[in-house]
């Protein structure tokens, strides 16, 4: 029975491997072990509950289609969670995929017949509810919701959303499609990348099916096209899309486009097509600010049913600043390491797993940095820590700042004293000794030192 299960699983692997990225296969599929087959139910072994949930949320459609292509439409999986040394030794790639494919396998799918594979399926996880809003994307999200609620009936036609790589453009335009379908507002919704549109068009030319191709794209209620910058220098494709655009627009159908730059900055596009891209509304998405990055990580953790310490979230958010895709990738990498090696997710593990990301941003902490952090923590003006005042709360904050300066910098006691209003080294020694003695007995002080220490560590990365 075990041999039969392995043989079936090996056949599934050949199909699965062709439909997901190499890194995804290595991380999420390779660790799976086939245990037994009973009727049309294949039992597979996975290392943790988190691993199981991740498979179910992101790859189950692919796994199921591969199995049913072998055993028929009644086939299904049963999961068995078993942690083993084999999983502990598993090498995890340094870079994990940050965008989960929603591609599904079609049994008996004919590759040459690409015109029949007219769209990329919309990922049902891309919704407005789990799209984290911040100042960087607020306007674009509001416009997207307006279009989703009344496709073809607003002045936002087309709606063009542009922004850098990994900022959530695909999520937002697919959320429009999901909303419109769920609410029954648009019956015929099509999502396609510009590259897929081009490939389909080329195939239709080769097979003398351009009429069928045109009808396919010109009879939708809502057309979502990703990455229109790839239409650049493709003259025949631009010609076809121009006529598709005109037909849909004249019939009051909604067009939503995404690009990595403003339409006016895309080179190699005919002027008449560029002008149409700007008929409606052009909205941009900027890189997320710190607060939005933190909110995104918290939302992703919530969706994965994982609790993350505030320190771990802040560590990732402070270090990954360029785009959401890398932010999610860092989180996925951390979750994968913790799951496959049965380790708790904490600041120590996060620093270990994300050391390459952190090391790129580390800088030397300064005494001025520490002064600012301590002053902010106790809500005291920074100048007070340098002044002669002996108020109890100020004196304690000053001693803590001196203590932290000694812990986090290589400056001499004399230099530290100079930063605190010209105090001599004996004052610094007294401050350090006082803090070290009191922290052993004072729980409030000990807690304050821990929180301040974390803030100093985060400010250096």
CATH number of the domain enclosing 46: 3.30.300.180
Assigned token pair, 98: 């940050």
- Residue 283 pLDDT more than 70? yes
Residues 355 and 375 in one domain: no
Residues 137 and 245 in one domain: yes
Among 225, 253, 285, residue at a domain's last position: 285
C-alpha distance from residue 293 to each of 130, 283, 325, 327, 460 (Å): 14, 20, 11, 8, 18
Distance CA 246, CA 252 (A): 10
Residues 371 and 355 in one domain: no
Among 240, 264, 285, residue at a domain's last position: 285
Measure the CA dihedral 375/379/385/391, to 10°.
Answer: -150
3-state secondary structure of 227: coil
The domain total for the chain is 4
Residues 241 and 279 in one domain: yes
402 occurs within a structural domain: yes
Name the pLDDT band for 312 (thresholds 50, 70, 90): confident
30 occurs within a structural domain: yes
Handedness of CA 181, 184, 185, 190 (dihedral sign): positive
* Interval 315-343: pLDDT, tens: 888 888 777 878 877 887 787 777 767 77
* Interval 383-429: pLDDT, tens: 899 888 888 889 999 999 999 999 888 888 999 999 998 899 999 99
Distance CA 297, CA 321 (A): 12
**CATH number (domain holding residue 452):** 1.10.1750.10
Among 304, 337, 359, residue at a domain's last position: 359
Name the pLDDT band for 362 (thresholds 50, 70, 90): low
109 occurs within a structural domain: no
Residues 133 and 216 in one domain: yes
pLDDT at site 402:
94
102 occurs within a structural domain: no
**CATH number (domain holding residue 332):** 1.10.8.60
Residues 65 and 134 in one domain: no
Q: Mean pLDDT over residues 370-378, rounded?
A: 91
Q: Mean pLDDT over residues 436-440, rounded?
A: 89
pLDDT at site 434:
92
343 occurs within a structural domain: yes
Handedness of CA 29, 32, 37, 40 (dihedral sign): negative
- Residue 142 pLDDT more than 90? yes
Residues 174 and 39 in one domain: no
- Spell out the residues 6+ positions from residue 341 whose beta carbon is closer than 8 angstroms to its own: 87, 88
Residues 350 and 372 in one domain: no
Q: Mean pLDDT over residues 137-160, rounded?
A: 92
Paired residues of 283 in beta bridges: 161
pLDDT at site 101:
31
Phi/psi at 155 (5° precision): -80, 0
Residues 70 and 219 in one domain: no
405 occurs within a structural domain: yes
118 occurs within a structural domain: yes
Q: Mean pLDDT over residues 138-145, rounded?
A: 92
Q: Mean pLDDT over residues 208-232, rounded?
A: 91
Buried b or exposed e, range 338-347, using 16+ CB within 10 angstroms: bbbbeeebeb
**CATH number (domain holding residue 224):** 3.40.50.300
- pTM score over 0.95: no
Residues 40 and 63 in one domain: yes
Phi/psi at 190 (5° precision): -130, 125
Residues 278 and 382 in one domain: no
107 occurs within a structural domain: no
What domain range is 193 assigned to?
Answer: 114-285
141 or 61, higher pLDDT? 141
Residues 121 and 78 in one domain: no
């Amino acid at each position: 029975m075990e041999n039969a299960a392995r043989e079936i699983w090996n056949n599934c692997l050949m199909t699965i491997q062709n439909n997901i990225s190499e890194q995804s296969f290595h991380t999420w599929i390779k660790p799976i072990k086939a245990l037994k087959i009973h009727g049309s139910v294949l039992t597979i072994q996975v290392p943790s509950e988190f691993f199981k949930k991740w498979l179910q949320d992101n790859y189950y459609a692919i796994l199921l289609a591969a199995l049913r292509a072998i055993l028929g439409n009644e086939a299904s999986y049963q999961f068995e969670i078993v942690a083993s040394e084999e999983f502990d030794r598993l090498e995890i790639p340094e870079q994990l995929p940050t965008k989960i494919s929603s591609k599904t396998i079609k049994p008996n799918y004919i590759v040459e017949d690409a015109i029949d594979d007219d769209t990329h399926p919309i990922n049902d996880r891309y919704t407005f509810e789990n799209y984290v809003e911040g100042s960087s994307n607020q306007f674009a999200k509001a416009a997207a919701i307006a279009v989703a609620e009344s496709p073809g009936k607003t002045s936002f036609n087309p709606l063009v959303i542009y922004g850098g790589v990994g900022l959530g453009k695909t999520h937002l335009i697919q959320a429009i499609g999901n909303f419109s379908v769920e609410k029954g507002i648009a019956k015929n919704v099509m999502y396609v990348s510009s590259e897929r549109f081009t490939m389909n068009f080329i195939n239709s030319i080769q097979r003398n099916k351009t009429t069928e191709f045109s009808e396919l794209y010109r009879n939708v209620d809502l057309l979502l096209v990703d990455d229109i910058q790839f239409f650049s220098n493709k003259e025949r494709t631009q010609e076809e899309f121009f006529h598709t655009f005109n037909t849909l627009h004249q019939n009051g159908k909604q067009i939503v486009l995404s690009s990595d730059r403003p339409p006016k900055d895309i080179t190699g596009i005919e002027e008449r097509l560029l002008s149409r891209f700007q008929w409606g509304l052009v909205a941009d998405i900027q890189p997320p600010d710190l607060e939005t990055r933190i909110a995104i990580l918290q939302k992703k953790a919530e969706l994965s049913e994982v609790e993350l310490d505030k320190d771990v979230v802040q560590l990732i958010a402070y270090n990954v600043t360029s785009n959401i895709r890398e932010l999610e990738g860092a989180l996925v990498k951390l979750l994968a390491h913790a799951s496959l090696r049965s380790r708790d997710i904490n600041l120590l593990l996060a620093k270990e797993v994300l050391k390459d990301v952190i090391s790129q941003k580390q800088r030397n902490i300064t005494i001025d940095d520490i002064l600012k952090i301590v002053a902010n923590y106790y809500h005291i003006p920074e100048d007070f820590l340098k002044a002669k005042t002996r108020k109890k709360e100020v004196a304690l904050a000053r001693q803590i700042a001196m203590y932290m300066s000694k812990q986090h910098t290589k400056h001499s006691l004399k230099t530290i004293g100079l930063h605190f209003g010209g105090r001599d080294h004996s004052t610094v020694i007294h401050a350090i000794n006082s803090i070290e003695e009191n922290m052993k007995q004072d729980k409030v002080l000990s807690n304050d030192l821990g929180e301040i220490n974390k803030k100093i560590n985060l400010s250096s990365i």
